[in-house]
Amino acid sequence: MRQTRVSAPRCLRRLAEVLSIVPSHDKIRCLRSSQTRALIAACAVGFAFSTNYTNHAPLAAALASAFGINLAQVGLLTTAIFLTHACMQIPGGHLADRIGPRIVISIAAATVCLGNIALGFATAYWQLLFCKAFIGLGTGAGFVAGARYIATVFTGSQLPVAQGLYGASNLLGSGFVIFAVPILFAEFGWESAFFAAALLTAAALPIWLTAPHPEALDLNPAPFADMLGNSQLWLLGLAQLASFGLAIVVGAWITTYLTKSFDLPLKTAGRIGSLVLLMGIASRPLGGSVLARRGAKFTLQVSMAMNTVACLILGLGGKSLAMAAMAVLLLGIGGGLPYATVFNRAATLYPGRPGAAMGLVNAIGTSMILAGPPLIGQMVEWSGNFQSSFLALGAFTMVAWIAMFAIHRHEPDRSV
């Protein structure tokens, strides 16, 4: 009997498609069209903007020494950027709905560049806070405008994958700087981290401006009060809170945690800690595929369960570096899975105002980041370790997991 040889990579890909683990070949091939430039441009600006979320985190000790501040005050830098970032979600989404993402992202990029250049020349702590808050105006409007752009260019079964890839670019930027900043700091000092962020944004802007930009749609917007009263949107916001918000909060301190708890060199801790966010490169597109096959409720429940287990491991794992690394991997996957679900479903629920709906859920999702980093810094100063902080995060994420059982089944979520 003649046997047909099938290469191992093709077998693995086919198995993954059957199990709904990765996007099918047909979906990926569809993205290799005129839409490719649009996706590359959105991912380029998404990457550049997101480097600003955590580029100060590996510099906690250096900034504390240079400016005479404590860890709680360093944590307030994360609060500063995400305060204005959150405030710009709904206005940024509304502007993207009305005038299109092209202008919104261009102005956002200029804001981010100026803020980072000013950060590099800061001589006082209040200047660090002010510049981070100023940068947040740009990252907030730019992020939601990018998500709105993806929802304009892509439709149907392409949208979950494209939205997941855009989301992956954002986590790639956030995780990349946790890895890269310790290297830059060792060679050029703390200022180099901020100058590099300005340079990345300046390099991404020409790519964005040369991408295809459809005309802004003439939509019939839903009443804003109706959006505020929609419990399903608030549940999506809670999912964003316990996934992206959690990943950023943990990412802001994970390098310091690994350094203090396991006496790791800063560069080694940065490499391990960056996986909290870098795993989103795979898990956000993966979440888009799971959404298309299994729906929103399943995707969100799996994510919240993984995040709960990860936080509890960090809180109870003691001095085991292997357990800590396992928790980092779990959080990296669980923190990325809900992205496409949250933003695509928000747009589906309010097709007349998709940018504003996306902005609302992300504003809810970023609220945790406002208080989380300085509170964790204060708890570490008080207790001398990170265990109580991670246990508190685990309890919160468990509540979010229970809440996901109230997500309604919605057939448009499943696009294949």
Residue 160 included in any domain: yes
Amino acid at 126: W
Distance CA(159)–CA(342), nearest Å, equals 13
Predicted confidence (pLDDT) per residue in 72-90, tens digit: 788 788 888 988 998 998 8
Residue 136 has what pLDDT?
94
Q: Would you place residue 339 in the very low, low, confident or very high pLDDT band (cuts 50, 70, 90)?
A: confident
The lowest-confidence range among 26-35, 36-45, 180-189 is: 26-35
| Residue 191 pLDDT > 50 | yes
Per the structure, the complete domain to which residue 132 belongs is given by 36-211+223-413
The pLDDT score that the predictor gives to residue 246 is 87
What local confidence, expressed as pLDDT, does residue 301 receive? 94
The residue among 336, 60, 289 whose CA lies nearest residue 171 is 336
Residue 174 is predicted with a pLDDT of: 78
Give the mean pLDDT of 307-318: 87
- The mean pLDDT value for 337-364 works out to 85
Using 50, 70 and 90 to split pLDDT, how confident is the model at 413? low
* pLDDT tier for residue 24 given thresholds of 50, 70 and 90: very low
Specify if 173 maps to a domain.
yes
Under 8 Å between Cβ of 365 and 245: yes
CA dist 363 and 374 (Å) reads 19
Handedness of CA 180, 183, 189, 192 (dihedral sign): negative
What CATH number should be reported for the domain holding residue 55?
Answer: 1.20.1250.20
Would you state the pLDDT for residue 12?
36
Torsions phi, psi for 352 (to 5 deg)? -80, -15
Contacts of 168 (CB under 8 A, 6+ apart): 43, 280, 281, 282, 283, 284, 285, 336
Query: In the predicted model, what is the mean pLDDT of the chain?
Result: 81
Confidence of residue 239 (pLDDT cuts 50, 70, 90): very high
Residue 27 lies in a domain: no
Q: What is the pLDDT confidence band of residue 218, given thresholds at 50, 70 and 90?
A: low
Report the percent of the chain where pLDDT is more than 70. 86
Most confident of 12-21, 68-77, 123-132, 252-261: 123-132
pLDDT at residue 368 tops 60: yes
pLDDT at 41 over 90: yes
Mean pLDDT of 397-404: 94
Determine contact, residues 63/55, Cβ cutoff 8 Å. no
Nearest partner of 401 among 305, 290, 283, 330, judged by Cα: 305
pLDDT given at position 20: 40
Tell me what pLDDT residue 216 has.
58
Q: Where is average pLDDT lowest: 131-145, 168-182, 336-350, 371-385?
A: 371-385
Residue 400 lies in a domain: yes
Question: How far apart are the C-alpha atoms of 92 and 97, rounded to whole Å?
Answer: 9
Task: Give pLDDT, residue 410.
Answer: 61
Q: For 8-17, 96-105, 240-249, which range has the lowest pLDDT when averaged over its residues?
A: 8-17
Token output for 368: 């945790």
- Mean pLDDT for the stretch of residues 185-205: 90
The answer to whether residue 70 sits within a structural domain is yes
Q: How far is CA 328 from CA 216, 245, 323, 340, 376, in A?
A: 40, 15, 9, 21, 17
pLDDT in tens, 43-76: 999 999 999 988 887 888 888 888 888 877 887 8
pLDDT-based confidence at residue 217 (cuts at 50, 70, 90): low
Query: Higher-confidence residue: 195 or 2?
Result: 195
Could you tell me which residues come within 8 angstroms of residue 108 by beta carbon, excluding any fewer than 6 positions away?
49, 92, 137, 138, 139, 141, 142, 145
Phi, psi of 164 (to 5 degrees): -65, -40
Domains held by the chain: number: 1
Is the distance from CB of 286 to CB of 337 less than 8 angstroms?
yes
Distance from C-alpha of 380 to C-alpha of 374, rounded to nearest angstrom? 10
SS3 assignment for 184-232? HHHHHCCHHHHHHHHHHHHHHHHHHHCCCCCCCCCCCCCCHHHHHCCHH
In a domain, 125, yes or no: yes
Structural domain contains residue 28: no
Structure tokens at 275: 């996986």
Q: Who has greater pLDDT, 200 or 229?
A: 200
pLDDT at residue number 168: 85
Judge whether 372 lies within some domain: yes
Give the residue, 390 or 72, on which the prediction is more confident. 390
